[in-house]
Chain A
Amino acid sequence: SQQGEEDPQALSIQEGENATMNCSYKTSINNLQWYRQNSGRGLVHLILIRSNEREKHSGRLRVTLDTSKKSSSLLITASRAADTASYFCATQGGSEKLVFGKGTKLTVNP
């Protein structure tokens, strides 16, 4: 079963704009990870945020985590055409198992 649910399912923006994707989950977690998938590079890890962290930055990425609401958001600032991909959140609980959501398909138009 899939734990995370990304929202929106699809997002289309212009280059230079910011893109925000949300993820909601159901059970308690140790950490939440975001992955990107495109046809050129497969599935790639972007960022991990632990359950005791509220915000994390990596380059143009900003991730927030609200464990009380069981939700996370991924913000990509100053988007580029190369950011076009599907973005997945994945939660990790007590076991090492990663449970992925269905993903948000982001299109960045030049």
Chain B
Amino acid sequence: EAGVAQSPRYKIIEKRQSVAFWCNPISGHATLYWYQQILGQGPKLLIQFQNNGVVDDSQLPKDRFSAERLKGVDSTLKIQPAKLEDSAVYLCASRILQGGSEQFFGPGTRLTVL
């Protein structure tokens, strides 16, 4: 079974630029999550989708971050404009709707904002 795919793996941008991350969850997983992991900390949930609807975006900085999950499969997370404090690893995870609480994580995208 293929895992959660993310791209790009690394991205370096200047502050005030825009950036987008892509995630392809495990086939059949209805729930998709985006996390931000700052160096030395645990992942922090940014947004949760169930199919193509948003379940929880309470910790998403909506003035600069946006995310969508068209057709309930792939998802993109965008930052516009980026700030220095957005430097982090952005993790995508997915979970099957029924039958388990385990989340499966992708390899992440390491963002550096200069």
Contact = CB atoms under 8 A, between A and B. Distances in A.
B25 interface: no
A92 B43 CA distance: 14
Contacts of A101: 42
A109 B53 CA distance: 46
Query: Chain A interface secondary structure, helix, strand, loop or mixed?
Result: strand
A88 B56 contact: no
Interface residues of A, number: 21
A102 B56 contact: no
A98 B56 contact: no
Which range contains the number of B residues in contact with the other chain? 20 to 34
A42 B56 contact: no
A102 B41 contact: yes
A4 B56 CA distance: 20
B104 interface: yes
A25 interface: no
Nearest to B56: A97
Contact of A92 (B31, B56, B93, B101): B101
A4 B42 CA distance: 9
Interface of A: 2, 4, 31, 33, 42-45, 48, 88, 90, 92, 95-103
Interface of B: 31, 40-45, 48, 55-56, 91, 93, 95, 101-108
